[in-house]
Amino acid sequence: MAGPIPDVNGSAEITAEPNSQSRLVMAPPGRDAGDDTDSGALLSSSNIGKNPEVFPEKNVPTVVDATGSLPDSDEDGRVATEDEVRDLLHVVDRIPARLWVACIAGILERFVWYGATAPLQNYLQNATGGEVPGALGLHQATASNIVNVLIIGSYIMPVPAAVIADSFLGRYKTMLYSAIIEAMGATILFATSLPVTIHEGAALGGVIASCVLLAVGSGAFKTTVVPFIADQYDETEFRIQTGKKGERVVTSRELTITYIYNVFYWAINVVGFVADATPLLERYVGFWLAYLIPCCVMWLALIPVLLVRASPTSSIMPQAVAAMRCAISGGFRMDAAKAEAQLRHGRVVPWTDSFIEDIKRSLLTCRVLLLFPIHWLCYNQTFNNLISQAGQMVTYGIPNDMMKIAGALSGIIVAPIIQKGLYPYLTKRKVEFRPIARMTVGFAILTLSMVYTAVIQKLIYKAGPCYEAPLACSDSHGSTVPNQISVFLQIPIYFGGALAEVFCLTTGTEYAYNHAPKSMKTLMQAMWLAMAGLGTCLALVFTPLTKDPHLVVMYAILAGLLGGATVLLWVLFRHLDKAKHDAE
């Protein structure tokens, strides 16, 4: 559970059976291969390996990972016929080196985000000289609010960034400028975390300025880098190649993009795991060193950004905004924006009816996503209140803000089990596990995690020496003696979060991408990310409860809200899974 960014890792694993849909365990958030059918289960983190070859059934295309060198043939490279696409084995195409360079830029930026935010709660909340490292001493509620605002900004910024990228600058320039902005934010954070600047009182102003720059830079960068990576692979046709054993195979853009994003998100989980170790530097050296490393890495990330090529992108936003304006004036009906309807009012519009249908599909997709802010509200507890909770427990010398590394580790463990065990098992038995069902399971698991979190907080309040005032009584000897309960009791919370990430968050990314029109996939990804920002906005409502002894009540309310959202998700939208099945 590396962070709000869903970390989708692992290799695409496919099984095929007669009269059953092929199940892709991966469906990347940034593919641009047209409108896909449900590609099955989407995973959070697993080992990258070769996709297993599957014995082909009659009239069912099968898929393997064929990224190795392919023997030359006279037919190599020609466009495959419809019969060949249907009958031959589908493989991953050769991937240009420039694409991996673009991936490196995205991977380094994620390291910077995780490395900069991992120590932030302690940096803001605690004062210097205590058992738990700190600098500003703003206390838990204020520190949590600042962290929440940072997350809100980073997940709402993708929407205006997508508009700017699609309407004015293009993806490449937006990505470049946002990388520079984020690097400036990391630099200010490092400079104002030096002991001398903290002593001179410059730390608070510095952290506020750096949070603004980090939110703007990271939000704009992550909404453009994912489709930009796909821009570097420009093959759109199925083409004939000769396989390793001399057989004819067909290269697939869909599988190639899937493989690319498998590697990309697996690497993100690896750097996230490493970045979550920065609290060790915070604890044993100082915040300045913990922030120096992300600062240097962000400036290095500019190198691969400058090395890759800019890909042309078309601007649809002006027309989309104009069409929405026509729909609103026509009684909030998108059909009122169609060319024929506008012609009756004496207006000639530049868009086609299919463009209006694309907008309608995007709006319908947003209905399912509207329940996700509650999910993000609970999921984001990892980045503030759970860190504070660990600080109230016996940590055995482990920095309290390093405990969330258990989430990334849990994801690495559970994802391969689900990918290579659960999904193939269900597919072979023709048990459908479609997106709404998977997301409902993710909601339910995170609900149970919130219930368990409330139980742990209750146990903390029942333990001495300070009971309902952890680290705040005289027996804590200057906030150095926590309540005597083991921090390892938090591990199931992170394990549940990792499961929820596999079943829910990555599936939400898949759903937003696959159900968005081809011309609006970047914007829909921005809307999906904005749901996380709205969830963090909801967290601000709970500010009065983010202090002792009210935390048990807060976690109980969160569990109740998410439980209700779980029921609504299944009751309101389960028919979409059935509709997908009937359409196939």
User: Measuring CA to CA, how many Å separate 495 from each of 378, 463, 575?
Assistant: 14, 24, 30
Q: What is the domain partition of the chain in residue ranges?
A: 73-312, 366-583
Give the model's confidence band at 311: pLDDT under 50 very low, under 70 low, under 90 confident, else very high: low
Determine the longest span between alpha carbons in the chain, in angstroms. 83
Digit-coded pLDDT (tens) for 76-119: 778 777 887 777 777 777 888 888 888 899 999 999 998 998 88
Contacts of 447 (CB under 8 A, 6+ apart): 378, 559, 562, 563, 566
| Nearest partner of 515 among 436, 456, 440, judged by Cα | 436
Residue positions counted in the chain: 584
Distance separating alpha carbons of residues 584 and 578, to the nearest angstrom? 10
Give the model confidence (pLDDT) of 225-282 as tens digits. Answer: 877 777 787 776 778 777 777 777 888 776 677 677 767 777 777 787 888 777 788 8
Q: pLDDT tens across 466-478, in order? A: 999 998 898 888 8
Assigned CATH for 366-583: 1.20.1250.20
Give the per-residue pLDDT at 559. Answer: 96
How far apart are the C-alpha atoms of 140 and 558, rounded to whole Å?
A: 18
For 482: left if phi > 0, alpha if psi spans -120 to 50, otherwise beta; the answer is: beta
pLDDT tier at 34, thresholds 50, 70, 90: very low
pLDDT higher than threshold 70 for residue 2: no
Q: What are phi and psi of 188, to 5 degrees?
A: -65, -40
Residues 386/476, Cβ–Cβ less than 8 Å: no
| Segment 322-374, tens digit of pLDDT | 888 888 888 888 888 888 888 888 888 888 888 888 788 778 778 888 899 99
Of all residues in the chain, what percent carry a pLDDT higher than 70? 81
Classify burial at 199, counting beta carbons within 10 Å of its beta carbon; exposed 0-12, middle 13-18, buried 19 or more.
exposed
The tokens describing 178, both together, are: 């946002």
Equal CATH topology for 73-312 and 366-583: yes
Q: Which position has the token pair 């004819």?
A: 248
Q: Across all residues in the chain, what is the average pLDDT?
A: 79
Q: Is the pLDDT of residue 511 over 80?
A: no
Q: Tell me the mean pLDDT in the region 208-236.
A: 85
What CATH number should be reported for the domain whose range is 73-312?
Answer: 1.20.1250.20
> Is the Cβ–Cβ distance between 99 and 260 less than 8 Å?
yes
- Please state, in angstroms and rounded to a whole number, the distance separating the CA atoms of residues 208 and 401: 20
Instruction: Read off the pTM.
Output: 0.68
Neighbouring residues of 471: CB distance < 8 A, sequence distance ≥ 6: 130, 131, 132, 391, 392, 479, 481, 482
At residue 454 the predicted structure's pLDDT band, cuts being 50, 70 and 90, is very high
Express the helix, strand and coil content of the chain in percent, nearest 5 each.
Answer: 65, 5, 30
Q: 411 vs 2, 222, 405, CA distance in Å?
A: 8, 21, 10
Give residue 446's pLDDT. 95
Q: Which of 20-34, 402-416, 445-459 has the highest mean pLDDT?
A: 445-459
Residue 358 CA, chain-centre distance (Å), reads 24
24 has which bridge partners? Answer: 14
Angle at 92 between CA 89 and CA 95, to 5 degrees: 155
Question: 428 near 17, Cβ under 8 Å?
Answer: yes
